[in-house]
Structures are given as C-alpha cells and as structure tokens.
Amino acid sequence: MDLKANVPSGPIDTAWSRHKFEMKLVSPANKRKYNLIVVGSGLAGASAAASLAELGYEVRCFCYQDSPRRAHSIGAQGGINAAKNYANDGDSVFRLFYDTVKGGDFRAREANVYRLAEVSGNIIDQCVAQGVPFAREYSGYLANRSFGGAQVSRTFYARGQTGQQLLLGAYQALSRQIAAGKVTMYPRTEMLDLVLVDGKARGIVTRDLVSGKVESHAGDAVILATGGYGNVFFLSTNAKGSNVTAIWRAHKLGAGFANPCFTQIHPTCIPVSGDYQSKLTLMSESLRNDGRVWVPTKAGDNRKPRDIAEGDRDYYLERRYPAFGNLVPRDVASRAAKAVCDEGKGVGPGGRSVYLDFADAIKRLGEGGVRERYGNLFDMYERITAEDPYKGPMRIYPAVHYAMGGLWVDYNLMSTIPGLFVLGEANFSDHGANRLGASALMQGLADGYFVIPYTIGGYLASTKLAKVDREGQDFKRAEVEVNERTKRLLGNKGKRTAMSLHRELGKLLWENCGMARNAAGLRATAARIPELREEFWSQVIVPGSGSDLNQALEYAGRVADFMEFGEIMCLDALERSESCGCHYREEFQTEEGEAKRNDAEFAHVAVWEYRGPGQAERRHTEPLTFENVHLAQRSYK
Amino acid sequence: MNVVLMVWRQENRDTAGRLQRIEAKDISSEMSFLEMLDVVNERLILAGERPIAFDHDCREGICGSCGVVINGTAHGPRRGTTTCQLHMREFHDGQTIVIEPYRAKPFPVLRDLVVDRSALDRITAAGGFVSASTGSAPDGNAIPVAKPKAEAAMDAAACIGCGACVAACPNAAAMLFVGAKISHLGLLPQGQPERWMRAEAMVAAMDREGFGPCTNVTECAAVCPKEINLSVIARMNRDRMAAVFLVARRSPRGDTA
Ligand SMILES: Cc1cc2nc3c(=O)[nH]c(=O)nc-3n(C[C@H](O)[C@H](O)[C@H](O)COP(=O)(O)OP(=O)(O)OC[C@H]3O[C@@H](n4cnc5c(N)ncnc54)[C@H](O)[C@@H]3O)c2cc1C
Ligand code: FES
C-alpha cells in the first residue's frame, strides 16, 4: 500500500502557498467537462459541492436525509475555532497549529494541521459573508469564547447552534448552485458501493430510499464526506443515521483505513437513563467555560447536591489540572470522570455521572447572563431529564462523540485509491489521537471550501481519464453485488432484530474499546465480533421488501458494516501498544495515571489494508515527524 | 405505563391510508416519544409485521427530520419541543395517542408518517441565500453588525425547516418558514444587496409549490418548535411589497437597497 503523503518539502508556513502554485490547473472552460460526485451534504460535503460548482464543475451530491440541510453537522453546538486573534490574547496560526498537534497527542500530520490553522480565518470570513449570524459584541464585532485544550479565546459561535448556522450557510450556497443547474442533488439516496475503473474511483452505486431503485453514477472523481462512525458503539451523540458504510465499502475496494481505534469520548453528555436508550445527548463543551465539575469527596455520599458543603466536594479537574482546570482536553476530562466513578464517587442512578455546576456562574453573571450564553442547552437538559439546571447542577457522563480515525488521505485529501477524495470527519487527517473542541467544524469547512477546490484540480489536470459509462461492466458488477446483499438481508428467517444485535456490539466495544482498553479485553472482543457477525447474518430479521421505503433494511445494512468494522477497531487498539490521546491502554500509563506515549515505536499513523474475505487485514504505517512542534509529554497541569 | 396508539399506516403516496390501533405496553415514562416508537417497532418486527416508518435523525431537536401530528398537534403537546425531544412523561397511563403524518397538499405522504418536504428546499433554492462565492469574502470584522440586529437575525435563523408550521395551518401556508429565512438574511447587512429579489423569488416559489395564503390563524407560530415569532411574516410581506414596488421602477438587483 502506497502511503506517500505528498507533503511539499521546505518550510511549513509557506508549504500550502507553494503547493497551490505548483499544482496544475484546470482551465475555466474545461471545468464544466468534469463530472464530480460528492457523497455527503454536511459541512464538508455541502461546502465542497457548492465551491466546486461555483468553479464550474458539474457536481452531483448525495445524502440519505430528506434534505441536505439535515446532515449530522447541523447538531454541532459549541463553536468553530479560528486563529483570528480578535481577542488580542496571543493567538496566531502557529498557536492554533501547535495546540491542535499537541491536543492530538502528536499523532497527526504536521503539514495538514498547519494548513488547517492557516485557512481557519478565511472560513470565518466566508461564513460571515454568507450571513451566518455569529454572536457579536456590543461594538458589532464578532464575539469569541474559550474551548478545551486552549488558553486563548478563539472560538466563534452562534448561540448553542453553531453547526446549524454554519451548515445552513453551506446549504444555502449549495441551494444556489442547485438552482443554477450546476449541482444535481440526490436526497434520500444512500451510497452502497464505490466503483473503480482501471484502479481509479469513477463512480458509485446508490439506492433510492423511497423507491428502492439501485443505480449507478459515473464521474471523473468521487468525494466522500460521509461523516464519522461513532455509531458503531450503538450509543453515541451522533445522528441516528451516521454510519461507516460509505467509507467501509471504499476500504474493501482498497482505501486504507487509518487509526480506526481513535474515537473521541466526550466528557459532557446526559447520562444513560434506561436500556431503551437510543442515543446520547451532548451538553456542549462550551459549558465548561462557566460550569464547574465535581463529585462528593466521600464515596457513597448521596445527599442532595445543594446539601453538600463546599468542603465535602471534590472539584477534581481543578485539583488535578490547575493550569487548565475545567477546560482540559476531552480525553483527559473523560478519563477523570470515569476514574472518580470507578472510585465510587459518582452520583445519580448507578453512580455513573458527575455534577456540572453553574451556581458560581449564576452568582457572577445572574440567571439572565447564563441564559444568554447557554439558554438552549439548559432548555434541552430540562426537556430530557425534567430537572432544572438553573436550580441544581447538571449530571453528566462521557459518551462516544467523534471519530478521529477514518480513511487515510494524503496532503491533497486523496485516499489510497486514485480519484477518491475524503473530507471532514470521514478522513483521519488533522486531529491525531484526540480532537480539540470546535475543530471539527473548522476542518470540515477547511476541507470543503479551501482545500478540495484546489487539490481536485491538480488531480484532474494531471491524470488521463478514459471515458466511462455507467452501463459498463464494472458498474453492472457492483450493482449486482448490492442487489445480492439486499436480497440476503431480506431473505433471512431469523429471530433477532438488527437493533438488538447492534446494541450488543456497541456494549462490547464500549466496555473493551472505549475509555480504557487492555490487551486481554481487546483480544477477546476481536475474537467475539466475528461470532456476533455470524449471528447477525444467520439471525437478523429484516421485514419488508427492497423495492420501496424500508428503514429497517437501510438500518440492517449499516449494522452489517459496523459488524465488520468493529473488529478492525479492536485490532488497531491492540496493536498500538501505547497510550495516546483517546487511546488509553491501561498497561501504558504514567505514575499519575496519564496516557503514556511510546514515540520510539508508535509515532506513526496505522493504516489497515483489506485483503479479501476471510483474510486478516494488513497493518501499514506512515511515520510521523515533528519538526515544528517538539514531541513532549502532554501536560495540562 | 401502557398507552394505545392510533397510528396512520399508508403503503405509499398512491394508496389510501388508515389508522391502525397498536397497544404499547410497558412503556417507561423516561423514554422519548421516538424511543417509544422504537420499542413498538422492535415488537412489530419480531411479530413479523411491518414497522412504522417515521423520519428522524439527530434526535436532539435540531435537524428538523422528525415531525408528526400527535393528538392533533404538530410535534405534540409540549410547546417549543420537537417530536424527538418529547418524552413519554407528557402522557398518562392508559392514554390513547393518535399519531398522524403532516397533512398538507405540498407534502405528499410517502409511507406511514414519512412525508415529502422537498418543496421547502426548492423555495430556499429560489433565493434563500447570499450570493457570496467561496473566496470572495472580506475580513469577518469588516462589516460590524449591531448586537440587537445579530440577535434578531439569529432568532429567525433558528428555524429547523421541519414543516410543522405548514402542517398546523388550515391553509397549508409556509409563511413562517419563508418569513424566517427572509428575516434572517434581510436583517443582516450581508443580505441587503439581494433583499428585494430574495423576497420576490421565495414568495413566488412558495406559491408555485402550492402552499396556501395566510389568513392570520397563527397556528404556525404556536406549534413552531423553535418558537419563531409571527413578526417574520410581517417582515416578509413588507419586503415583498417593497420588491413589487421597486421592481416596477428599477432592476430587482442590488442597487435599490
Ligand atoms: C452533538 C454534537 C455536537 C458537536 N459540536 C461540535 C462543535 O461545537 N464544534 C465542532 O467543531 N464540532 C462539533 N461536533 C463535531 C462535528 O459536528 C462533526 O464532526 C462534523 O459536523 C462532521 O461533518 P461532516 O461534513 O464530515 O459529516 P456529517 O455532517 O456527518 O455529514 C455526513 C453526510 O454524509 C451523508 N452520508 C453518510 N453516509 C452516506 C451514505 N452511505 N450515502 C449517502 N450519503 C451518506 C449524510 O447524509 C450527510 O449528508 C459535534 C458533533 C456532535 C455529534
Ligand atoms: S430528529 Fe432531528 S429534530 Fe427531531
């Protein structure tokens, strides 16, 4: 597997400008001769589809929701980072780059991260121009707030609905291109396979989720912006439809899968309330700006929170990490919450939660002040739990949130399959082993607005592309496979629902490949998953037919892919004999219980290659070098 | 708790539907409404029956996918709350719950509770944007926006496009949806150059899609899960009247703002 990162040589701060100049261009008149396929209409997909169409390319864009505006990005709450230094507090492109590399625990590629920081300011400008109603100061200028893992205030936000507003901006730009006839939008359409012709990505096979019709789309390049795979755990903060299907099918055709075991567990989510639970709700990290996290000092203290005196409370983040306090990065905060709960100090039913308390903030800012900052989040908490967070502390617990792993891409965001580009959460590129808050929105939009419009031109202008036709045999073969799979799912006469099997898989992974992992647990789980997969294929019942709207069928197809993918997650976690960022191997910790990296052996990206059914995947590595941020033990003390 | 569901079942857009009675036993009051439907669907699948189709995705009240009519009210009994954020504690043991799809001519039923809301996307495509191509933007702080304006724009921009307003309106009007977008962009300096053209184009698209007129019933704002204010409709009408007036005199583009 060729893992050439194609990073321009020379100084990092001019690498992207030089690269943009050196890449070949497609002339304006020729752009309309190219057909591009964009799968996904989240921040990454919508921004890419709109920008490419503005340039003159012919674009087809796909999403499984009934409207592109409903992509999972819509749910992002807290904010988006940019190195504008409007706060005059010492921020710079280099500092954002530095924080992101360090926050990712030195497992990301420097050059990509630098570029991300470099274009971050343009993203804010672009979104403002589109009419995104960012929060403002009384001066009329843009407001900022702080997020975890940073000591500067660089997060832009639109109340607690930042993702919604950014996505609506991108959706509206996309809509303009749809009206102009430059983008053809296919909502309620699921990509079920990728098609390669002569080794290059040349199309996809889709299923119309209303009519059930399976068909092919041919193009000159394929862009996957299909989001993250956190739902492999069943319970996560992701939208219910978020899946691994698109990137997994591409993986099975040769796209390397990077760092599949890197999944972010977010520290502040509403705890599980019962076994019918269908998803977990995030309480934005921005709340840690003003909320203080604590548990009772004494295990088993079940007095009401307001009856517990200050002296009997352990503000454990402030105690353990005085420099960053409640704003330590997510992996650190999540593990600390797990640790206090494991010690029996957790609160609420089952003792699996901690308090996030706003009493001090309400004293300082007044209830109105807190409402202005977090009103919609407080309302959401109240709606779900029937408890009023203005009166007592919230209860929170970590939950699966974000996939740092994803398809491997080079500096041009191209996967190991020529012509297959991967953007947003679906790729692995920028966040290493832990993503900082407010950086996913930044990355999705950087990829879509400011990276792919250049790099895809470089590919198209320098590649000879034969004419392909969706009636060709490569397409027909892929369609047959898709149809057979559907038939197999529907033909089963089993006893279990896809959801019950999915829950079982999720629980296994949460317990063994979640916040803490060890070799024995990972080995056992990697062995158990193939059995569970067998059970899935022999036991699952999928009602209805393939030729109409059938949500049970859609879901079962996604679960089938999770059943394969989960195994690779465990193997990846097992092979990485170190702790880094979210990946906490109990065998590798410092005396204080922090993650202990092993840079000598593991300063690399692990990339998995699929080698056929029944064959073990092969692990490759892309070495990471740190020339601009020096490898150091992460410390937030 | 036990509840009785009367659920709309319909094969596809070309067939007639009917209400089906389904007993939902042993439901926890802590479940969300959609989790209750999940449980019912699991049981239907195990019993060899077809599960109830309903749209949902984020389950956090923000994507606008969900939305059904519960006991006659779009998104159900709790104000300012989407179907996915509604919890069973709002209902009582033994209650009968009637669940129907949005009913409006521009929203054909595709199956059970799933409707086609693509008309709303077409209205947006007609003009619900600022034509700022990627790369052309000045610095974000080059255009200050007074805080009250920014806040008012955000209030309107909070619309999740769920279509409840249409379902609640006896005329199937989409005024609250369209007014929200026209207000969001029209309140901001960035939205000024295309303000009149936008109002014209979006209203024309709305009419073309078959949405009805506004007769001040105000049901739309009552069911809106984001509590979008009726004033957005007044603003839409103002902008649209201004557009007609200005268009009669000059080009609809830019310079009249
Ligand atoms: C609750 C929550 C809050 C968050 N808050 C923040 C925040 O404050 N700041 C921040 O930076 N990040 C935040 N994140 C993370 C961030 O929202 C996501 O990482 C980001 O939005 C992902 O964008 P995307 O474009 O890559 O993918 P998505 O938005 O997930 O879009 C995926 C798209 O692909 C389509 N798709 C998927 N599979 C298929 C298929 N097989 N066929 C066809 N189409 C398909 C979908 O329809 C969708 O259009 C948050 C995440 C969550 C869950
Ligand atoms: S499912 Fe997203 S708003 Fe209800």
Any catalytic annotation for residue A330? yes
Please name the residues in contact with A459: beta carbons below 8 A apart, sequence gap of 6 or more.
A221, A412, A414, A418, A419, A421
For the domain made up of B117-131+143-256, give the CATH fold.
Fumarate Reductase Iron-sulfur Protein; Chain B, domain 2 (1.10.1060)
Two tokens, residue A521 = 């647990």
| Residue numbers in B near A210 (CB within 8 A) | 110
Q: Is the pLDDT of residue B255 over 70?
A: no
Two tokens, residue A462 = 């320098």
Q: Is the pLDDT of residue A304 over 90?
A: yes
- Give the Cα separation of A425 and A430 in Å (integer): 10
Catalytic residue (one of A330, A395, A533, A634): A330
Pocket test for ligand 2, best of B32, B37, B63 (most atoms within 8 A of CB): B63
Structure confidence by residue, pLDDT tens digits, A90-142: 999 999 999 999 999 999 999 999 999 999 999 999 999 999 999 999 999 99
R_g over Cα of chain B: 21
Structure confidence by residue, pLDDT tens digits, A64-85: 999 999 999 999 998 999 999 9
Residues B128-145, mean pLDDT to the nearest whole number = 97
Rounded distance from Cα A244 to ligand 2 centre (Å): 21
The answer, yes or no, to whether ipTM is higher than 0.85 is yes
Residues A38-53, mean pLDDT to the nearest whole number = 98
- H-assigned helices in chain B: 33-46, 118-127, 147-157, 164-168, 175-187, 195-208, 219-223, 231-249
Residues B227-244, mean pLDDT to the nearest whole number = 95
Rounded distance from Cα A281 to ligand 2 centre (Å): 12
Please state whether A582 falls in left (phi above 0), alpha (psi between -120 and 50) or beta: alpha
- Domain borders along chain B are 3-111, 117-131+143-256
Please name the residues in contact with A319: beta carbons below 8 A apart, sequence gap of 6 or more.
none
User: Of A326-335, A406-415, A502-511, B87-96, where does mean pLDDT reach its minimum?
Assistant: A326-335
Q: Is the pLDDT of residue A629 over 80?
A: yes
Binning chain B into helix, strand and coil, the percentages to the nearest 5 are 40, 10, 45
Q: Are A256 and A608 in contact (CB under 8 A)?
A: yes
Q: Is the pLDDT of residue A354 over 90?
A: yes
Q: Is the pLDDT of residue A273 over 50?
A: yes
Residues B154-165, mean pLDDT to the nearest whole number = 98
Residue nearest atom 33 in ligand 1 by C-alpha distance: A40
Residues B153-158, mean pLDDT to the nearest whole number = 98
Q: Are B104 and B172 in contact (CB under 8 A)?
A: yes
Residue nearest atom 14 in ligand 1 by C-alpha distance: A76
Q: Is the pLDDT of residue A408 over 80?
A: yes
Q: How far is CA A605 from CA A500, A506, A619, A621, in A?
A: 34, 25, 10, 5
Structure confidence by residue, pLDDT tens digits, A188-204: 999 999 999 999 999 99
Q: Is the pLDDT of residue B252 over 80?
A: no
CB contact under 8 A, B121 and A276: no
Q: Which residues pair with A294 in a beta bridge?
A: A355
Rounded distance from Cα A417 to ligand 2 centre (Å): 35
Confidence label for A516 from pLDDT (cuts 50, 70 and 90):
very high
CB contact under 8 A, A66 and B87: no
Quick one: pLDDT at residue A633? Answer: 86
Q: Is the pLDDT of residue B254 over 70?
A: no
Cα B201 to chain centroid distance, Å, stands at: 19
CB contact under 8 A, A187 and B118: yes
Quick one: pLDDT at residue B122? Answer: 98
Q: Is the pLDDT of residue A427 over 50?
A: yes
Q: Is A50 on the interface with B (CB under 8 A)?
A: yes
What does CATH list as the number for B3-111? 3.10.20.30
Tell me the three-class secondary structure of A34-102, residue by residue: CEEEEECCCHHHHHHHHHHHHHCCEEEEECCCCCHHHCHHHHCCCCEECCCCCCCCCCCHHHHHHHHHH
Q: Are B173 and B236 in contact (CB under 8 A)?
A: no
Q: Which residues of A9-18 are buried (b: 16+ CB within 10 A; e: fewer)?
A: eeebeebbee
Residues A429-443, mean pLDDT to the nearest whole number = 96
Nearest atom in ligand 1 to the alpha carbon of residue A424 is: 26
Confidence label for A576 from pLDDT (cuts 50, 70 and 90):
very high
* Average pLDDT of the residues of chain A: 96
Q: Is the pLDDT of residue A634 over 90?
A: no
Q: Is the pLDDT of residue B10 over 90?
A: yes
Q: Is the pLDDT of residue A603 over 70?
A: yes
Q: Is the pLDDT of residue A536 over 90?
A: yes
Question: Which of B58, B110, B147, B155 has the highest number of chain A CBs within 10 A, making it the mutation to test binding with A?
Answer: B58
Residues A531-551, mean pLDDT to the nearest whole number = 97
- Give the Cα separation of A317 and B192 in Å (integer): 47
Rounded distance from Cα B160 to ligand 2 centre (Å): 9
| Residue numbers in B near A190 (CB within 8 A) | none
Ligand in closest contact with the CA of A157 = 1
Q: Residue B101 in 3-state DSSP?
A: coil
Domains belonging to chain A, first-starting first, are 266-400 (3.90.700.10), 473-601 (1.20.58.100)
In degrees and rounded to multiples of 5, residue A160 shows phi and psi of -100, 25
From A57, A299, A72, A300, select the one nearest A183 (Cα to Cα).
Answer: A57
| Residue numbers in B near A172 (CB within 8 A) | 124, 128-130
Pocket test for ligand 1, best of A37, A38, A47, A63 (most atoms within 8 A of CB): A63
Q: Are A551 and A207 in contact (CB under 8 A)?
A: no
Q: What percent of chain A has pLDDT over 70?
A: 100
Quick one: pLDDT at residue A285? Answer: 84
Residues A162-177, mean pLDDT to the nearest whole number = 98
From A91, A147, A120, A190, select the one nearest A449 (Cα to Cα).
Answer: A120
Q: How far is CA B21 from CA A29, B24, B84, B99, in A?
A: 61, 10, 21, 10
Quick one: pLDDT at residue A68? Answer: 98
Per DSSP, A616 falls in state P
